[in-house]
Structure 1
Amino acid sequence: MGLVALGLGVLAVALLTCSILVGSGEIPTSRVVDYLLGHPDAVADPQLQMVINTLRVPRTLTAVLVGAGLGVAGTLLQSATRNPLAETGLLGVNSGAALGVVLGISYAGVESGYGYLVWAFTGAAVASALVLLIARTGGAMVSPLRLVLAGAALGATFRGIMASILLRQPNSYDQYRFWVIGSLSGVDMSIALRMLPAVVIGLLAAVLVARPLSALHLGDDAARALGHRPGVVRVVVAVVVTLLAGASVAMAGPVAFLGLLAPYLARAVAGPRVLAQVALSGLAGVVLMLASDVLARVVIRPYEAPVSVLLAIVGGPALILIVRSRRLMTLRTES
């Protein structure tokens, strides 16, 4: 596993470098290298400064945050629900974020990236809070089944409300569709820096919750015997997933499949060790997101393809592989 982690780390650094060097425009890579090395003529070029400092660096940082956030969130969610096909939309996070953006556009006049950020993150947080509230209704313990059912029901409700609003306000749909397609184009440094604390706190919390989450794989009774409280652990996991997925969706829109693919790759290497899965899924998410974003800039150059489309092209066949694999469908993390 150490070699795989090292390989993913090296690949992530290489892709990060490519993300800075490669773009959809006509600026040659050699000019970018000159700028990074501090050559006077390159540093004095205002267009080069704008492209690197305003476009590529913020975009690269956002790709790292989104990749790590969605990858780790998917691993936590799959472990907590014991479902190898679980991803961040399962707790209603994506639907809540989308409804938040629609409400912001339709009733608050939101038109900027920062406005989308605030409304998307707020919607994701409210959705997760409602899921937890519904799952605990009547004082019942928060179980994987109750979380999944509450998330699915609330997500469907949010999608219905959102569709109703968009049908009555077609102008709002024109703005919403650019956000919902999932892309890193247009992300600026202020957006990435505002979501950085949420992602960092979420990643640190994921490391801390890994051990009690591993105990849940032995069964709730065994986890209690080891001093853990299964219901509390699942609530903490839901909160951490909200931080990671909510911040990621707010920055890049509802990027599909990443929260499914990265945990799958991590589980295939790390087996049932949750902490190892968390580390590997974060690295795998960064690699997948950076690779998809770099490809998105060059496949139809000088235009850009949405990064979510490229992830879906990879994610669709991967989902079929997971469904057809008996070994993976048994979810090795439950052993």
Structure 2
Amino acid sequence: MSSDTVVPTPAGRRAGRSPRLPAPRSPLPRLVLLLLVVLAVAVADVLAGRAVTPAGVWEVLLGGGDALDRHVVLNLRVPRMLVALVAGACLAVAGLLLQSALRNPLAGPEVTGVTPGAVLGAVVATGFGLADRQSPLAVVVAACLGGLFGAGLLWVLTGRRRDDPTETAVHGVLVSAVLGGLTAMVLLVAPGELGSVVQWLIGTTEGRVWQHWNLLWPWALCWGVAAWLLAGPLTLLRCGEDQAAEAGLDTARARGAALVCAVALAAGAVSTVGALGFVGLLVPHLALALFGADLRITVPGAALAGAAVVGGADALAQVGGRGLAVLWDADRLTLPVGALTTALGAVLLLVVVRRSPARDF
């Protein structure tokens, strides 16, 4: 080859410089879009109730309306909507923490003893007269204790093998089954209270008022901030035990902190709205698909997605309840939001399992 021969170089590459990689897309537009979806869902949820027409709701929100309409909208519909949004956010973030800490895409509050334990606590407190709908604080305390009991039982059973995601998941299913059996035994002992405790078994936002909201939001805010602070360590943990340890992360401590935070978030939500099936199990998959594996972004994204899902399900439940009431001529018939999340979640779960039945998380 002669000295004046020109050797072609790839397009866009300059001598001494590596090729430029495409800049990562900013997650901010998706977060803003999802926030707008949550706001739209919130408005739809307030408009979807009975007794006051949508025009009457807008009149109240603009400062008008009669006393009855104002009471229904401001003291019943608005707190119900807020509780639904925040409870959905709590469950979604709890599920994301569990799936990241256990490195198992099918881990969630429903199958790790957290939700069944919280339901057991609420059912025991309500069924034996220790708490009722007039004392939501007692129900919150009982449900949180139950959720901690379920998680603690899982922790004891896994023993030294608690770092094994598969072992933890298997024991979680067993613990959830045992806690469900204990709940059924409580219902047999106190059958007269079935009507008052069925809300915890199915999950509902019916009758949630400002007292429930005032108990839920400080709890959710506290543990939500803790979840975001754990996002960095959990992002490393999702990469694998060895990689996280080489980066200087104490994997056992990070996993333990994440589990405690997930238990607190899930128990707080369940103590307020009951067991909303599949929210904590499936919404994290949606958040990861939208925002990627960096949990510093995905944690707030999961909170918004969970709020949108539960708020939307609550609006659909109210509209569906009105339709069923007209169809069956039953004015007081209601459709629990937990029934919708369970039915829709079961279908989506089959899709998730079929897409990644044996994939390492």
- TM-score calculated relative to the size of structure 1: 0.89
SS at match of 1:299: helix
Partner of residue 323 from structure 1, selected from 341, 353, 359: 353
Counterpart of 1:128 in structure 2 is 151
Partner of residue 337 from structure 2, selected from 275, 287, 307: 307
Alpha-carbon deviations, 1:255-312, whole Å to 9, x = none?
0011122111112222322222212211111111111111111113154311111112
AA of the residue aligned to 1:236? A
Counterpart of 2:54 in structure 1 is 29
Aligned length: 324
**1:7 CA drift (Å):** 1.8
Q: 1:109 to 1:72 in 2, by over 3 A?
A: closer
Q: 1:299 to 1:229 in 2, by over 3 A?
A: same
Q: 1:149 to 1:325 in 2, by over 3 A?
A: closer
Q: Structure 1: any 5+ residue segments left out of the alignment?
A: none
Q: 1:146 to 1:231 in 2, by over 3 A?
A: farther
Q: Which runs of 4+ in 1 moved over 6 A?
A: none
Q: Map 1:36-185 onto structure 2 (within 5 A).
A: 36-39=61-64, 42=65, 45-112=66-133, 114=136, 115-135=138-158, 137=159, 142-185=163-206
**1:129 CA drift (Å):** 3.0
Partner of residue 256 from structure 2, selected from 235, 245, 249: 235
- Conservation of the 8 A alpha-carbon contact between 1:84 and 1:329: no
Counterpart of 2:23 in structure 1 is none
Q: Which has the larger radius of gyration?
A: 2
Counterpart of 2:13 in structure 1 is none
Which of the two has greater helix per residue? Answer: 1
Q: Map 1:250-265 onto structure 2 (within 5 A).
A: 250-265=271-286
1:92 and 1:141 mapped to 2: Cα distance? Answer: 14
1:66 and 1:60 mapped to 2: Cα distance? Answer: 10
- Conservation of the 8 A alpha-carbon contact between 2:45 and 2:311: yes
SS at match of 2:321: coil
Q: Structure 2: any 5+ residue segments left out of the alignment?
A: 1-26, 326-332
Q: 1:314 to 1:147 in 2, by over 3 A?
A: same
Residue 190 in 1 paired to residue 211 in 2? yes
CA RMSD of the aligned region, Å?
2.1
1:175 and 1:21 mapped to 2: Cα distance? Answer: 27
Residue identity (%)? 31
Alpha-carbon deviations, 1:115-150, whole Å to 9, x = none?
433322221122223333444x46x66442343344
- Conservation of the 8 A alpha-carbon contact between 1:97 and 1:119: yes
Q: 1:16 to 1:110 in 2, by over 3 A?
A: same
**1:80 CA drift (Å):** 1.4
- Conservation of the 8 A alpha-carbon contact between 1:105 and 1:111: yes
Most deviating of 58-67 and 307-316: 307-316
**1:329 CA drift (Å):** 6.1
Counterpart of 2:3 in structure 1 is none
